[in-house]
Structure 1
Amino acid sequence: MKHTYAVTGMTCAGCQYKVQHLLSQVDHVKEASVDLEKGQVTVDMDQHIATPTLQSALKEYPKYQLTDAPAVASSISGDAVQDEAKSWFETYKPIVIIFGYITLVSIIVGSTLIGFNELLAMRVFMAGFFLVFSFFKLLNLDGFADSYAMYDVIARRFKGWGYLYALIELALGIAYAADFNPVATNIITLVVMSVSIIGVLQTVLNKRAIQCACLGGVFNLPMSTVTIIEDGLMILMSALMLFMY
């Protein structure tokens, strides 16, 4: 069963992720989905949960006030229709542009006078990927940690892993850029990204409608096969680089 509630005090994607995460931890809640623009949260539960129980889940953050939402008209607004009509490119444009920029720079750097250096191009790509993606996570580290804890297998049990993960990405980006101990760097990448993709696969295969935390709380991107491809590409490239070394 699903119930919709009004939530006040949410001002950004970080608030959205925090409310979703806190309500998702309540017993018998299968999923909590926040509509930031409407100031509402839809809770999917396997049995009825009293409103005070949900309110108590937010008690450590008094600015978030949950109440029973007023009746919502059944007609679909123009904004909703526009959201439904969004193309794949419009939805994932930030990731497409970032990957395009990083790929272009990698190709340019890898193109040497004696031919194309695949190892150099991949190293530059990995450096760019981790530096750019860690940058967006660090812009709102709390928001990223809350969002990441909603699906990552480690962050669900230890929220601090979300903070550590962003710093690991930054360190890996610097290591690839400096060509520091490439074997160790690629082994760490292979392990970290392999663990990360487990939660992504579980979320996508279970068709849970939550936001992807890959770009932190800056962009509201849905979790999908795009996230699997993103993590899978890092795993594949780190494995190839290990083989080449």
Structure 2
Amino acid sequence: MADAQGKTAKLYRMVMEDHLCPYGLKTKDLLERQGYAVEDHKLTTRTETDAFKKEHGVKTTPQVFTESRRIGGLEDLRRHLGQTVREDSETTYMPVIALFGMAFAMALAVAILVTGSLFTWRVVEWFIAISMCLLALQKLKDVESFSTMFLNYDLLARRWVRYGYVYPFAEGIAGVLMLAGILIWLAAPLALVIGAIGAVSVFKAVYIDKRELKCACVGGDSNVPLGFVSLTENLMMVGMALWMLARMAV
């Protein structure tokens, strides 16, 4: 910030042999980028840290002080500087945007490698197949958490609980086979079934029952809201499956 030029901030952060506080480093970096001259006070022992917390009545470090006023930790500093702070429970589409963005970049890379050109209709195929693989990977990181969140809305999983454990593997297998262009007789029907069930489930939960839920599409720990993006993911699988089945029939 422009009005921060020439100002000084005191920063108290943990710098121990066995622990270098990452939030302290981020806080120091943020202050310096905002034009503050930082008086960096390093708390080098647990006893010193506990004494500091007790003296100032705080539960955590780092702590920032400016002009004899305590600002607080990293998130408090960000608010003080007028920056947006996202709460842990706040919904966000960023994980999905990042995943689909990377999938598209990878599809373009495959296009260049295979055809030597970006302008090929197969980019769409590769994009969807890679997206399925990446989405499956997110779910496979913690199948238990995914299956729990999945039960909130998936119609088949509610009737057959084990489907929540099967789904990530089915999505991953279908994505890999479609990317390789092999065993389409298996991959396409598999993607069609799980995509159709998913689309119907999301549509019912969001647009008929009007429920506000989090989507399990990028794993069981996501804050992505269930809705249009989730429906799009399933419709992409359905469309890809129908396209490949049509190609097989020709």
**Is TM > 0.5 for Structure 1 vs Structure 2?**
yes
Structure with higher strand content: 1
Gaps of 5+ in 1: 1-77
Work out whether 1:234 is the aligned partner of 2:241: no
Q: CA contact under 8 A between 2:146 and 2:221: conserved in structure 1?
A: no
Distance 1:136 1:114, change over 3 A: closer
* Structure 2 partner of 1:210: 213
Partner amino acid for 1:201? F
Q: CA contact under 8 A between 1:211 and 1:222: conserved in structure 2?
A: yes
Partner amino acid for 2:236? L
How far 1:115 moved relative to its partner? 7.5
* Structure 2 partner of 1:118: 121
How far 1:176 moved relative to its partner? 2.2
Q: CA contact under 8 A between 1:136 and 1:218: conserved in structure 2?
A: no
1:7-156 correspondence runs (5 A): 91-111=92-112, 112-113=115-116, 116-119=119-122, 121-156=123-158
Q: CA contact under 8 A between 1:110 and 1:118: conserved in structure 2?
A: no
How far 1:118 moved relative to its partner? 1.9
For 2:106 and 2:95, locate their aligned partners in 1 and report how far apart those are by CA, in whole Å: 17
CA RMSD of aligned residues (A): 2.7
Aligned to 1:99, the other structure's residue is in SS state: helix
For 1:161 and 1:95, locate their aligned partners in 2 and report how far apart those are by CA, in whole Å: 23
Aligned to 2:92, the other structure's residue is in SS state: helix
Partner amino acid for 1:107? L
Spell out, residue by residue over 1:16-47, the C-alpha distance to the aligned partner (whole angstroms, 9 max, x if none): xxxxxxxxxxxxxxxxxxxxxxxxxxxxxxxx
Give TM-score scaled by structure 2 length. 0.57
Q: CA contact under 8 A between 1:193 and 1:231: conserved in structure 2?
A: yes
Gaps of 5+ in 2: 1-78
Partner amino acid for 1:93? M
Give aligned pairs, total: 162
Q: CA contact under 8 A between 2:214 and 2:223: conserved in structure 1?
A: yes
* Structure 1 partner of 2:182: 180
Aligned to 2:155, the other structure's residue is in SS state: coil
Spell out, residue by residue over 1:68-116, the C-alpha distance to the aligned partner (whole angstroms, 9 max, x if none): xxxxxxxxxx9xx9769x99xx820110111111112213323424783
- Between the aligned residues of both structures, percent identity stands at 27
* Structure 2 partner of 1:24: none
Spell out, residue by residue over 1:155-213, the C-alpha distance to the aligned partner (whole angstroms, 9 max, x if none): 01111100011111121122123322124311221122011111100111122011101
For 1:222 and 1:116, locate their aligned partners in 2 and report how far apart those are by CA, in whole Å: 33
* Structure 1 partner of 2:195: 193
Q: CA contact under 8 A between 2:139 and 2:218: conserved in structure 1?
A: yes
* Structure 1 partner of 2:164: 162
Partner amino acid for 2:238? I
Runs ≥4 in structure 1, deviation > 6 angstroms?
81-84
Work out whether 1:224 is the aligned partner of 2:224: no
Aligned to 1:211, the other structure's residue is in SS state: coil
Distance 1:82 1:208, change over 3 A: farther
Distance 1:186 1:122, change over 3 A: farther
Q: CA contact under 8 A between 1:127 and 1:176: conserved in structure 2?
A: yes
* Structure 1 partner of 2:45: none
Larger Rg: 2
Aligned to 2:156, the other structure's residue is in SS state: coil
Q: CA contact under 8 A between 1:146 and 1:159: conserved in structure 2?
A: no
For 1:166 and 1:187, locate their aligned partners in 2 and report how far apart those are by CA, in whole Å: 15
